[in-house]
């Protein structure tokens, strides 16, 4: 079985969309999507520096656009499993047939702007916790009044909340764990983002959805969602709810996934998959970063589809 994954914020790199402009129609697509997103995606993906594309309002629609540009170059079977990490779920929802590209780009623009605005209300942040016993790590995070905002598996949990609480947590970390402050604008996937969730819900009222045509996993609990309206509701709730990527990977393993294609900018999710789903039965992985990677991705897809016939 094939899995196609769409990465989230933090995976972007300066100039990563440049090679995709060699494909016919890419420039026109980005121009159209820029109008919907309210940011210049062409500039952000080709000329902007790391600081500019770190801005949440810019990064989120840029990542969704990148995933969609690459996914359009692939012929996926109906049996493919689709999943995205955080804002990557908007791209995944398009690949799975729930949202149109235009709707996803529009929602990504709103989501990014509103989350950036929510970050400005009160100083908050996030810290990665590497190692330690997962249950103990979560208990310690919650003891400090923080939220385990990302449970990424492979020994990685992200704590989020107020800056003073994060400082106290770093001063008294869980046993055998290392705490690293992340350079992010605020506490994503926590109640601090409530204003952004409200704004996204209002915008989503005008969005038309379809039921998934492929298996679509949700960050909320790692389960496959079969109803488009339910998935849209989960996408809205995800703004304040923790990302359970660990549960998504568990579902990928349970489904017997043998091949993974990570959409651009690829590498982050592939690394988590390699560390979590290792040993016998580990899936073959293709990181799709430039059009030069398309032949390898297409070959993997064709081989898996051939085995399923």
Residue 146 sits in the same domain as residue 108: no
Active site residues: 86, 189
Please name the residues in contact with 48: beta carbons below 8 A apart, sequence gap of 6 or more.
14, 58
The residue out of 181, 207, 228 marking a domain boundary is: 181
Identify whether residues 199 and 129 lie together within a single domain.
no
**Residue-level pLDDT at 305:** 87
pLDDT tens per residue across span 255-293 = 999 999 999 999 999 999 999 998 888 999 999 999 999
pLDDT at 309: 65
- Same domain (yes/no): 107, 231: yes
Between the alpha carbon of residue 223 and those of residues 214, 228, 246, the distances in Å are 13, 14, 11
Q: What is the pLDDT of residue 146?
A: 97
Q: Mean pLDDT score of the chain, rounded to an integer? A: 95
- Residues 265 and 303 grouped into a single domain: yes
**Exposure pattern of 98-127 as b/e (b: 16+ CB <10 Å)?**
bbebebbbbbbbbbbbbbbbbbeeeebbbb
pLDDT given for residue 77 in this prediction: 82
Same structural domain for residues 131 and 115? no
Q: Answer whether residue 308 shows pLDDT above 80.
A: no
Q: What is the mean pLDDT of residues 129-146?
A: 95
Residues 25 and 107 in one domain: yes
**21 and 165 inside one domain:** no
**153/286 same-domain check:** no
* pLDDT digit string, tens, across residues 165-210: 999 999 999 999 999 999 888 999 999 999 999 999 999 998 999 9
Choosing from 181, 198, 226, the residue where a domain stops is 181
pLDDT of residue 134: 93
Q: What is the CATH number of the domain that holds 105?
A: 3.40.366.10
Number of domains in the chain: 2
Task: Out of 159, 181, 203, pick the residue that ends a domain.
Answer: 181
Asked whether residue 229 falls in the same domain as residue 303, the answer is yes
Residues 147 and 87 in one domain: no
Average pLDDT over residues 124-148: 95
pTM, two decimal places: 0.94
Q: Are residues 8 and 68 in the same domain?
A: yes
Measured CA angle at 169 (ends 167, 175), to 5 deg: 140
The enclosing domain of 137 has a CATH number of 3.30.70.250
Residue numbers of the domain that contains 215: 2-119+190-308
Please check whether residues 298 and 197 belong to one and the same domain.
Answer: yes
């Amino acid at each position: 079985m094939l899995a196609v994954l769409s990465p989230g914020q933090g995976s972007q790199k300066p100039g990563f969309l440049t090679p995709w402009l060699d494909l016919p129609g890419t420039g026109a697509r980005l121009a159209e999507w820029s109008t919907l997103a309210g940011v210049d995606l062409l500039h952000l993906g080709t000329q902007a520096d790391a600081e500019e594309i770190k801005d949440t309002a810019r990064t989120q629609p840029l990542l969704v656009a990148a995933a969609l540009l690459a996914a359009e170059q692939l012929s996926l079977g109906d049996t493919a499993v689709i999943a995205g990490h955080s804002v990557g779920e908007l791209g995944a929802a398009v690949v799975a047939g729930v949202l149109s590209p235009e709707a996803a780009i529009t929602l990504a623009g709103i989501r990014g702007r509103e989350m950036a605005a929510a970050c400005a209300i009160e100083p908050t942040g996030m810290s990665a916790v590497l190692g330690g016993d997962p249950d103990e790590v979560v208990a310690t995070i919650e003891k400090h009044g923080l939220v385990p905002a990302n449970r990424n598996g492979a020994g990685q949990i992200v704590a989020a909340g107020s800056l003073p609480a994060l400082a106290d947590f770093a001063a008294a970390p869980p046993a055998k764990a290392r705490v690293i402050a992340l350079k992010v604008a605020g506490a994503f996937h926590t109640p601090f983002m409530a204003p952004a969730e409200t704004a996204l819900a209002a915008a989503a009222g005008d969005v038309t959805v379809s039921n998934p045509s492929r298996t679509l996993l949700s960050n909320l609990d790692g389960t496959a969602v079969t109803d488009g309206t339910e998935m849209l509701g989960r996408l809205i709730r995800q703004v304040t709810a923790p990302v359970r990527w660990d549960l998504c990977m568990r579902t990928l393993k349970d489904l017997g996934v043998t091949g993974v294609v990570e959409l651009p900018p690829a590498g982050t999710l592939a690394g988590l998959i390699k560390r979590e789903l290792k040993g016998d039965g580990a899936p073959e992985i293709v990181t799709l970063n430039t059009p030069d990677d398309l032949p390898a991705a297409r070959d993997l897809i064709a081989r898996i589809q051939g085995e399923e016939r």
